[in-house]
Structure 1
Amino acid sequence: MKLISTQAIALALTLLIANVQSASAQQPENIPWENSMAIARNMAIGLLQRQTGSNGLPLASFAVEVDLNLDGFPEIFAYRYAPGCDGINCGNFLFVLEGDSYQEVLGGIPGVRLVPQDKIGLSAFKRNGFLDIQSDTMTIGWDGKRYVDATTFPATSLDGAAFLTACQKAKANEQPAEGEAERVVSECQCQLNRFQAISFAQADLDMYTTSIGENFKYPTGDKEKAWQVTAKNAEDVGTGCDVASGKSQWPPAYFSHGDQPQQKLNFDGFIAACPKQDFILTNHKVGSPDRALSLCGCLAREVPTYGVSQEGLDLLTRYYRDEISDADVDARDANLLPAHDKASDACLAAFPSK
């Protein structure tokens, strides 16, 4: 039996956002992709064990990194195989780092655990900062803590006449080429439809409409934070409509990656040792085992972009186990710890707050 099914590969290719691809140029055998899958599998094993009480991953199980909120720290989508799966302790799982711990965020939606992987994909649109997911015939969206059936979200009925006029005028000024009028109308209508779907308030739409025009005075004081939320939601709506039309793609989070060709690596020992190391766990941005696991997943993704080999990764693993010292590592490979420190700095700089 194959370890990863054709359906699983199709899902993984759909879900994997550009952060792995942007880490390095295209390489033979798609090594960055294979490394990403290996890291996800290592991270998922412990998370699934905690969630289901079952050790290991049976054949035909798999895991994939997917950055649903585009912050550069992927969530972990995992499929745990079991014959005659009951949809409780097997099937589809999605682990999201929230605060100090990873939370499984699909379990409250009836039937989602059993949806075939080739019927799961990403929507073009965000909701509350996370991309919607199409799960068979159901769209599920982020409610701030977990994914839920999108039909349970309230919608609004907005007076969008002023917005459509302002939007079409602004877009026509951006690209006044002949034949653009129909496209502009469609894009602006898409945005209005999405504003209603995510329950935009009329006051927020009116303020955003004003901001599209000239001489808009940005709110200050107590109103500034609320305006920033409105503006960010509106920006996400605009990007989602551009993605839906094929005009653009969601931009990945910026990471200061290394520029060396990656080697295909075995991360088993590193992912096991890294989260237990005191200087990882006690870092002021970390402070919990699950956050340490997330940071170590990032380190595992990043060190190959600095050209670290399997021998180098194994040295780092021994270093994290306190089996060897800095001097021992430097004696074997003087470039290894500097490369590790660059990867660590990049991961910590972008590490999500609690």
Structure 2
Amino acid sequence: MRPFWRPATAFALALLCVWQGVAHAQQQQPENIPQENSDSVARAMAGGLLERQTGAAVPADKFWAYEVDFNLDGLSEIYAYVADPACDGVKCGLFLFVLEGDTYREVLSDIPGARLAAPDKVSLGTFKRHGFFDLQLDQRVLGWTGDRYADASTFPATLLDGTVFMAACKKSKSSEQPEEGEAEKIAEACQCQINRFQTIGFSQAELDQYSASLGENFEYPSGGKDKAWQAVATSGSDVATGCDVASGKSQWPSASLSHGDQPQQKLNFDGFLGACPTQDFILTNHKTGSHDRALALCGCLAREIPTYGVSQEGLDLLAQYYRDELSDADLEAQDADLLTSHDKASEACLSQFPAK
């Protein structure tokens, strides 16, 4: 398993910075304001989540946090590291917060020793399982069960007859005028998929159905069967992409979010993220409805608003607006473009925000 595509590389480097010392890392790296803003948003969000998880406030100089999109849905998960030389693996070490339903849930606590993994030996995997990337902690591979991470060695595997799939896969990938060596590469790619299907526990019926979908005249299930088929199709597509990434043929696509195109300024988000989740029109939006979901939406807003060139003064004005200290007219009088930028960021975030 290896790290891949730029966000994952940044993720590994970020954890390495924690381990080696932030001051030294900053001396070695050129300034990256979008990344620094992202880290600042993550830290502002993680403080409260860590306090709730550990039962006590964690001093600001004792933890670092990063945003990593583990399932490429456009909504970043919060990955945090709490430093303690005498860490017991309970209230310190590695934490991963995932929004599930109405609540952020920490998903490493049930895995013995997971918190104690060295940050410089943590990386995202090349493949997904149930929509989330595998996570490697040193020599251990963790896979997503559907609601948490677990040791991948505990997942049941299957033994499949891949004859029909191999034929369908090769046919779907072959060109009318193949180049030299193309047939061998296609065979390797299709075999990679078979191997992964067995690893993730695909059933023979699921493989046969997916094989049929690669050919012509496939009748897509409807009615009560379409949901099960969609799960099979998504897993099949993820496996195919993972194999292409593993071979160096392609990269995982980032989630499509409509960003602004202005240079970002380095911002402090504490005031904004303190006010945003408590604002009624955020908290009562039909896509939120709970404090944690409001926090997640506000985290997205905090990431997107700077892409419209909003300054610290503008962000602080929005915090006042969210605290009901300013009206729409007051805000427009001080910055005529600020509400427009805010509304564009809101539209982008809500368009990607997951259902409950």
The two structures have a TM-score, normalised by structure 2, of 0.90
Residues 24-103 of structure 1: pairs in structure 2 closer than 5 A: 29-103=31-105
1: distance between equivalents of 2:51 and 2:176?
A: 52
For 1:337, the equivalent position in structure 2 comes to 339
For 1:288, the equivalent position in structure 2 comes to 290
- 1:281-306 per-position Cα deviation (integer Å, ceiling 9, x unaligned): 11111110000100000000010011
Quote how far apart the aligned CAs of 1:74 are.
Answer: 0.3
- 1:177-233 per-position Cα deviation (integer Å, ceiling 9, x unaligned): 211122111111110001001111101111111221222222222322222211111
Task: Kindly indicate whether residue 14 of structure 2 is the aligned counterpart of residue 12 of structure 1.
Answer: yes
SS at match of 1:88: coil
For 1:239, the equivalent position in structure 2 comes to 241
Residues 151-300 of structure 1: pairs in structure 2 closer than 5 A: 151-173=153-175, 176-300=178-302
1: distance between equivalents of 2:194 and 2:218?
A: 20
Task: Kindly indicate whether residue 316 of structure 2 is the aligned counterpart of residue 314 of structure 1.
Answer: yes
2: distance between equivalents of 1:232 and 1:209?
A: 13
What is the identity, as a one-letter code, of the residue corresponding to 1:76?
Answer: I
What is the CA RMSD across the aligned residues, in angstroms?
A: 1.8
Deviates more, 1:133-142 or 1:165-174: 165-174
Deviates more, 1:215-224 or 1:340-349: 215-224
SS at match of 2:296: helix
- 1:249-273 per-position Cα deviation (integer Å, ceiling 9, x unaligned): 1111111111111111111111111
Unaligned runs of 5+ in 1: 1-6, 15-27
Unaligned runs of 5+ in 2: 1-8, 17-29
SS at match of 1:78: strand
Quote how far apart the aligned CAs of 1:176 are.
Answer: 1.9
1: distance between equivalents of 2:200 and 2:183?
A: 26
Amino-acid identity (%): 66
Quote how far apart the aligned CAs of 1:324 are.
Answer: 1.6
What is the identity, as a one-letter code, of the residue corresponding to 1:78?
Answer: A
The two structures have a TM-score, normalised by structure 1, of 0.91
2: distance between equivalents of 1:174 and 1:61?
A: 56
SS at match of 1:173: coil
What is the identity, as a one-letter code, of the residue corresponding to 1:117?
Answer: P
Quote how far apart the aligned CAs of 1:59 are.
Answer: 2.7
Deviates more, 1:342-351 or 1:68-77: 342-351
What is the identity, as a one-letter code, of the residue corresponding to 2:351?
Answer: A
Pick closer, same or farther for the CA change 1:13–1:213 going to 2, 3 Å. Answer: farther
Pick closer, same or farther for the CA change 1:347–1:210 going to 2, 3 Å. Answer: same
For 2:306, the equivalent position in structure 1 comes to 304
Contact 1:11-1:120 within 8 A present in 2 as well? no
2: distance between equivalents of 1:91 and 1:248?
A: 33
For 1:347, the equivalent position in structure 2 comes to 349
1: distance between equivalents of 2:258 and 2:11?
A: 28
Contact 1:58-1:82 within 8 A present in 2 as well? no
Quote how far apart the aligned CAs of 1:169 are.
Answer: 2.2
Quote how far apart the aligned CAs of 1:175 are.
Answer: 7.6
Deviates more, 1:234-243 or 1:168-177: 168-177
Contact 1:11-1:121 within 8 A present in 2 as well? no
Quote how far apart the aligned CAs of 1:280 are.
Answer: 0.7
2: distance between equivalents of 1:269 and 1:182?
A: 57
SS at match of 2:175: helix
Contact 1:69-1:130 within 8 A present in 2 as well? yes
Quote how far apart the aligned CAs of 1:341 are.
Answer: 0.8
What is the identity, as a one-letter code, of the residue corresponding to 2:196?
Answer: R
2: distance between equivalents of 1:297 and 1:174?
A: 49
For 1:140, the equivalent position in structure 2 comes to 142
Quote how far apart the aligned CAs of 1:168 are.
Answer: 1.7
1: distance between equivalents of 2:168 and 2:44?
A: 50
